[in-house]
Structure 1
């Protein structure tokens, strides 16, 4: 019995083991064969792999929605052609037809980055304007239009958010937020590519439909849309007009005449003749005019060369920042944050550097007049000063009217050149009459040119006061004191009466539209509100001329020179950084008026102190650096650089196709390029136009001398680099020194 039981147990165990082994084997075989089948299947599908695509139904829903909305709007009879072409484009877009996809692909599907200050949604301008089939299929032509949009909140917020950037609050708080720099985040400019038959009203409809179906339409924002500029049509380039050909002809003639006269002067250099004809030809000589740029004066004011050019570099950097910031940037919020940093404090009030040029201009005028035994004919002085200012000025205005529109293209180009070209074509004569800062200043040609009439007005009034002082000293002194007090008080009084800010800062509203702010027209560009710095310069120059009358320049000890220069730099730093703080404080009319009256005179007085300490004493490092010889020719080209640099900056900014990332190193690189290019342009204008014209003018106004005297003058001029010749008459001395105040003047907005 026991044997039977043992046998049954052993038999059962064997059966179980056999089943397990068999099942395991079968499982292994199944797994192996399954993997082999999967591998073979995957291997075979490599040749015909199908990737996951977008859901066609979803895209059709979006386009069907757009089609439905467009069809059910109230279109006028004039708008029907646009509606038909737009609907045709959308239906072909659903079928993925190339011409329709091409046009739609050039439009930004929806605004992006506006909460970070990216105002310009430009899409792809060149894709819209340069489709390869426009010549063969004119019916498919498109146009590029700019729609300006203002987003308005429709809900009524219970209270204004304390922190607009609270991530758990509504994004509407950010849209209606305006930073101290006054950059609005609820405004955008959207570039759209539409059929060429569409009128502005139809473009506004399409932009509204697209905006409503973007993420900005989620809360029912109300959008005010306007297409105010003319749309740019494909294959319709700007035509060359008579002004363009006139400018090219004048420029070509100037170059040819100058080169011929230079060759003749070289050919006749050993000739003993020096008649009027030879002098006229020599007036165009490139070598002679280039050498004049290298001449130093013997007035002991060599530090002015460095001050002039370096101040001009600061002006260019300020305009580079301002014009770039007013254009398309992708990080506007970050730029505004940086503007409130230490470096930004300097940028917001760097316009005060302009008063350096008023100060230096008045200083050099007084230094020349103060050394004269008798006054020359003041009307001749006025005419010569006018001609010194007007030649390069007229060339730049002519260039803006005739050539500048043809130097670029882009989504914002037509808008940008219209702001410069149209006022110049209409009001150029106001600029040439030196009244553009008073008459129709809202449409001033070349915004930065406000400086030129101011400087000329200052020269005329100051020379008349000095003439009165020389004729009637007591009356002249009383008149000078009264004018100085009025010049100091006028800016503060105007600011107080009109409740204006202390200064005109480079905030967004100003750099994006410099002709717009009322303060720009009331106090910033008017001669009677900017006169104090020039008068301080004239008084400083007159004192300097009296001190140096004996010929001994070193009148201040080294210790006092260093102390004076240190005090000067500290005062300039304080004036620069104190102005922008008015952005953060509550407005106080009296405080603003006092600062408006004193900040520019204090700056000018500080620069005058620095010039005095360096010229009548010695300030280690500073004197040598500011007197460095390369500053001499560069300082004489700052006038042309000033007139031309904003044109270069605007061209670089408004040919852009997309917003760029704005940072300090990018601005610095661009600024250096503008300085180099602008200096080269100023050199060309000086050598080929300005210097020849002024040389001929001086020959016509100067008394004729005998041939022997002319020969002797030429021999002596070849052995000296001094501008002032002791053999010249008193009027000749003034003639040589007054222009130095003109060659180096600069300006800004």
Structure 2
């Protein structure tokens, strides 16, 4: 009896197994009966005369078909429009050949991330394998098999509409995962938004891609909860046969920079061969202006005794800004452990990065400080028109080179699933509004499309410089009225950001949260208070007033030295207060919003920071603080500090390029961030050096030559008149170094970054 029972069970198992295989094969036969275009039929039956007809193979797991059959079923029963039919037929052919494990179909499907992974851990980008999709070996010989890579932005919306309540523990393992998808951390990262890359047939239109991705998402683990996806394909899909063509801007940049390079090399060679160049001849002065060796030596010269600490402060402040931008841009891109990053936002380092924007006020402080020291040393008031021209050229040359690079060269420096977004985010605004940047109006006109987000600093510095010098000249001519106007302007500069914050009910500060890092141009506060000159003027004024105070103290026999204990106390107090300002700002993320409190903090945090930096500079310059003063006065900071302006301009472009060429989410940790920072600082400094030697220094030197010979002509005219009166007795001495003939307003230590 036992043997009979076993025999019956074995027979039933064989029958059921045969039925499953037959069913699967029939499903495969149904797929082959789909009407195809002629080219599709040729692909489906390649070399059919050279091989026997084989049965259709399907993937089976425990004798059950994988979800491909379900995908096929849903695809067939969608309401496809007439224009979508080619995409449908090609996609069905792809899936049929995938069931047969045909190489081209498996290759295409293998390039797709079949479902989002790591979404609950903060991984927003699911990019598949971009290069596999774009680099199939048979694309040239089999054009009908070509595919395209498309990016879809997806927002997941829950449909159960539960009663919203405060969740004490978003990571309670026994709650619904939908609660975690709706949760936004302190860092403001949203887990219900993702970007999905997919490899689809080249004939598919964006609407069809959205439909296909909706079907794939419904068959993923996220589809089990009944989430409603909002899918949008807004960017053109990338195709292998559509490279970016070189345009006129590309060749113009190569031509201009190549010409400047050749000219600099030629002038350097001429100066090397011809030892007796005369600085008083205009043609020789032009050769010297382009001499690479002379311009390189000027980077190594110190200027101004007692202020050597400014070199270290300048460059190290620049390094902090680079690290903050590296942190922000890197973590705004594909990161695999975003939730871990959100937790670290509450650590000491995280709080520093959230409010690193206050560090930029150190540059405004130093700029105003140096401008004051230059004006105090000047024997007479500067010609305002000449001063504006020199200051403008001083700022705009490197600025123009970087903008030119972004418009002309940057689109050709990379590729990848996110590269079109990089071009759209950085290149298109520059091609549209480059002229606003060069006119120093970009922080006021069409700032939503500002070219180079970090470049808002430059028009602010230019505006501050002109206004401050004008106020200083007015004060020198009308002391009482000048003091009154200066007081009114200073109070207004401090109150302006607080008043605007109060009126528009803005946050206390511009925090570097996730939503800001991913779209800084979309932030209201960025346009209202962060980049406007009238809301950032206070730090520059504090720097100017502290520069005047330093100049008078340094020239006085009584106050030119601060006792050691007081200088140490002042330095410690300033560093401590700066830390308080930096670490209290991010607390407004989790505190209940109070409009008056936010307005007061917005008005005071930047002036307090600037005052602390001014106190530190004065204590280090006029006093003695062991270790700190020696470290900041270290000679290697001298050339690096002079390259910090070019580094500031170019570093964000290099960071963005590295982020947008990535193919897969990167792991975030601070060692990785530091490694990237060191690379960006080295690359950016090298690029800044090239810009200095080829364009920035030569053009500024040419401007000085022009002013020099223009002034000489005026002096000769005046001297001829005096010689006719004095009997021709006139003795003058000429200095034999171009650098010594530069006006003080454009010395190597300038009020520029």
Q: TM-score, normalised by structure 2?
A: 0.88
Q: Is structure 2 residue 363 aligned with structure 1 residue 357? A: yes
Q: Which moved more, 1:58-67 or 1:326-335?
A: 58-67
* Structure-to-structure mapping, 1:389-400, within 5 angstroms: 389-400=395-406
Q: Is structure 2 residue 247 aligned with structure 1 residue 237? A: no
- Name the SS of the counterpart of 1:515 in structure 2: helix
The whole-number CA distance in structure 2 between the counterparts of 1:158 and 1:282 is 76
The whole-number CA distance in structure 2 between the counterparts of 1:682 and 1:737 is 18
The whole-number CA distance in structure 1 between the counterparts of 2:277 and 2:234 is 65
Shift of residue 555, structure 1, vs aligned partner = 2.0
The whole-number CA distance in structure 1 between the counterparts of 2:558 and 2:93 is 86
User: Among residues 137, 140, 145, which one is paired with 2:142 in the alignment?
Assistant: 137
The whole-number CA distance in structure 1 between the counterparts of 2:143 and 2:312 is 59
Does the CA contact (< 8 Å) of 1:360 and 1:741 recur in 2? yes
TM-superposition CA deviations, 1:450-504 (whole Å, max 9, x none) = 0001000101111111011011000000000000000010111111111111100
Q: Which moved more, 1:162-171 or 1:513-522?
A: 162-171
Does the CA contact (< 8 Å) of 2:149 and 2:417 recur in 1? yes
1:35 corresponds to: none
Does the C-alpha gap of structure 1 residues 396 and 59 become closer, same or farther in structure 2, counting only changes over 3 Å? farther
The whole-number CA distance in structure 2 between the counterparts of 1:685 and 1:319 is 22
TM-superposition CA deviations, 1:189-228 (whole Å, max 9, x none) = 0000001010000000000000000000101110000001
TM-superposition CA deviations, 1:282-301 (whole Å, max 9, x none) = 10001110111111112421
Q: Is structure 2 residue 750 aligned with structure 1 residue 740? A: yes
Q: Is structure 2 residue 104 aligned with structure 1 residue 99? A: yes
* Structure-to-structure mapping, 1:223-234, within 5 angstroms: 223-234=229-240
* Structure-to-structure mapping, 1:348-427, within 5 angstroms: 348-427=354-433
1:428 corresponds to: 434
The whole-number CA distance in structure 1 between the counterparts of 2:732 and 2:279 is 9
- Name the SS of the counterpart of 1:295 in structure 2: coil
Does the C-alpha gap of structure 1 residues 92 and 623 become closer, same or farther in structure 2, counting only changes over 3 Å? same
2:699 corresponds to: 693
The whole-number CA distance in structure 2 between the counterparts of 1:595 and 1:200 is 47
2:469 corresponds to: 463
- Name the SS of the counterpart of 2:521 in structure 1: coil
Does the CA contact (< 8 Å) of 2:309 and 2:633 recur in 1? yes
1:704 corresponds to: 712
- Name the SS of the counterpart of 1:189 in structure 2: strand
Does the CA contact (< 8 Å) of 2:278 and 2:285 recur in 1? no
2:67 corresponds to: 62
User: Among residues 705, 723, 735, which one is paired with 1:713 in the alignment?
Assistant: 735
The whole-number CA distance in structure 1 between the counterparts of 2:301 and 2:87 is 66
- Name the SS of the counterpart of 2:663 in structure 1: coil
1:153 corresponds to: 158
2:499 corresponds to: 493
Does the C-alpha gap of structure 1 residues 571 and 72 become closer, same or farther in structure 2, counting only changes over 3 Å? same
Does the CA contact (< 8 Å) of 1:165 and 1:173 recur in 2? no
Q: Which moved more, 1:308-317 or 1:233-242?
A: 233-242
Does the CA contact (< 8 Å) of 1:362 and 1:541 recur in 2? yes
* Structure-to-structure mapping, 1:327-342, within 5 angstroms: 327-342=333-348
1:306 corresponds to: 312
The whole-number CA distance in structure 1 between the counterparts of 2:498 and 2:638 is 37
Does the CA contact (< 8 Å) of 2:326 and 2:655 recur in 1? yes
Cα RMSD after superposing both structures: 1.9
Shift of residue 548, structure 1, vs aligned partner = 2.4
Shift of residue 384, structure 1, vs aligned partner = 0.6
Does the C-alpha gap of structure 1 residues 307 and 67 become closer, same or farther in structure 2, counting only changes over 3 Å? same
2:86 corresponds to: 81
Shift of residue 663, structure 1, vs aligned partner = 0.5
The whole-number CA distance in structure 1 between the counterparts of 2:731 and 2:476 is 32
Does the CA contact (< 8 Å) of 1:300 and 1:553 recur in 2? no
The whole-number CA distance in structure 1 between the counterparts of 2:561 and 2:627 is 19
TM-superposition CA deviations, 1:504-540 (whole Å, max 9, x none) = 0110000011111101110100001000000000001
Does the CA contact (< 8 Å) of 2:60 and 2:66 recur in 1? no
The whole-number CA distance in structure 1 between the counterparts of 2:311 and 2:63 is 68
Does the CA contact (< 8 Å) of 1:368 and 1:738 recur in 2? no
Does the CA contact (< 8 Å) of 2:119 and 2:191 recur in 1? yes
- Name the SS of the counterpart of 2:132 in structure 1: helix
Does the CA contact (< 8 Å) of 1:60 and 1:94 recur in 2? no
The whole-number CA distance in structure 1 between the counterparts of 2:267 and 2:364 is 36
Shift of residue 156, structure 1, vs aligned partner = 2.4
Q: Is structure 2 residue 522 aligned with structure 1 residue 512? A: no
Shift of residue 434, structure 1, vs aligned partner = 0.5
Shift of residue 735, structure 1, vs aligned partner = 3.1
Shift of residue 437, structure 1, vs aligned partner = 0.5
The whole-number CA distance in structure 2 between the counterparts of 1:464 and 1:491 is 23
Shift of residue 57, structure 1, vs aligned partner = 8.4
Shift of residue 235, structure 1, vs aligned partner = 2.9
Does the CA contact (< 8 Å) of 1:365 and 1:738 recur in 2? no
The whole-number CA distance in structure 2 between the counterparts of 1:608 and 1:686 is 29
Q: Is structure 2 residue 236 aligned with structure 1 residue 220? A: no
- Name the SS of the counterpart of 1:165 in structure 2: coil
Does the CA contact (< 8 Å) of 1:261 and 1:285 recur in 2? yes
Q: Which moved more, 1:419-428 or 1:161-170?
A: 161-170
User: Among residues 147, 170, 192, which one is paired with 1:186 in the alignment?
Assistant: 192
Shift of residue 60, structure 1, vs aligned partner = 4.4
User: Among residues 436, 442, 446, which one is paired with 1:440 in the alignment?
Assistant: 446
- Name the SS of the counterpart of 2:654 in structure 1: helix
The whole-number CA distance in structure 1 between the counterparts of 2:612 and 2:559 is 20
Shift of residue 372, structure 1, vs aligned partner = 2.2
User: Among residues 200, 210, 230, which one is paired with 2:206 in the alignment?
Assistant: 200
The whole-number CA distance in structure 2 between the counterparts of 1:458 and 1:376 is 16
1:120 corresponds to: 125
Shift of residue 709, structure 1, vs aligned partner = 9.5
- Name the SS of the counterpart of 2:624 in structure 1: coil
Does the CA contact (< 8 Å) of 1:293 and 1:632 recur in 2? yes
- Name the SS of the counterpart of 1:181 in structure 2: coil
Does the CA contact (< 8 Å) of 1:272 and 1:711 recur in 2? no
Shift of residue 560, structure 1, vs aligned partner = 1.1
Q: Give structure 2 stretches of 5+ with no counterpart.
A: 1-57, 717-729
The whole-number CA distance in structure 1 between the counterparts of 2:622 and 2:230 is 63
The whole-number CA distance in structure 2 between the counterparts of 1:273 and 1:162 is 75
The whole-number CA distance in structure 2 between the counterparts of 1:392 and 1:271 is 28
Does the C-alpha gap of structure 1 residues 535 and 440 become closer, same or farther in structure 2, counting only changes over 3 Å? same
Does the CA contact (< 8 Å) of 1:492 and 1:594 recur in 2? yes
User: Among residues 621, 636, 645, which one is paired with 1:639 in the alignment?
Assistant: 645
The whole-number CA distance in structure 2 between the counterparts of 1:619 and 1:269 is 46
The whole-number CA distance in structure 2 between the counterparts of 1:381 and 1:156 is 64
* Structure-to-structure mapping, 1:523-534, within 5 angstroms: 523-534=529-540
The whole-number CA distance in structure 2 between the counterparts of 1:157 and 1:644 is 49
TM-superposition CA deviations, 1:369-415 (whole Å, max 9, x none) = 11223212111101110011100000000000000000000000111
Does the CA contact (< 8 Å) of 1:388 and 1:739 recur in 2? no
Does the CA contact (< 8 Å) of 2:279 and 2:285 recur in 1? no
Does the C-alpha gap of structure 1 residues 272 and 372 become closer, same or farther in structure 2, counting only changes over 3 Å? closer
2:573 corresponds to: 567
Shift of residue 280, structure 1, vs aligned partner = 0.6
The whole-number CA distance in structure 2 between the counterparts of 1:266 and 1:396 is 30
Does the CA contact (< 8 Å) of 1:154 and 1:222 recur in 2? yes
Shift of residue 554, structure 1, vs aligned partner = 3.8
Does the C-alpha gap of structure 1 residues 453 and 517 become closer, same or farther in structure 2, counting only changes over 3 Å? same
The whole-number CA distance in structure 2 between the counterparts of 1:489 and 1:381 is 29
Shift of residue 162, structure 1, vs aligned partner = 3.2
Does the C-alpha gap of structure 1 residues 152 and 612 become closer, same or farther in structure 2, counting only changes over 3 Å? same
1:596 corresponds to: 602
Shift of residue 622, structure 1, vs aligned partner = 1.1
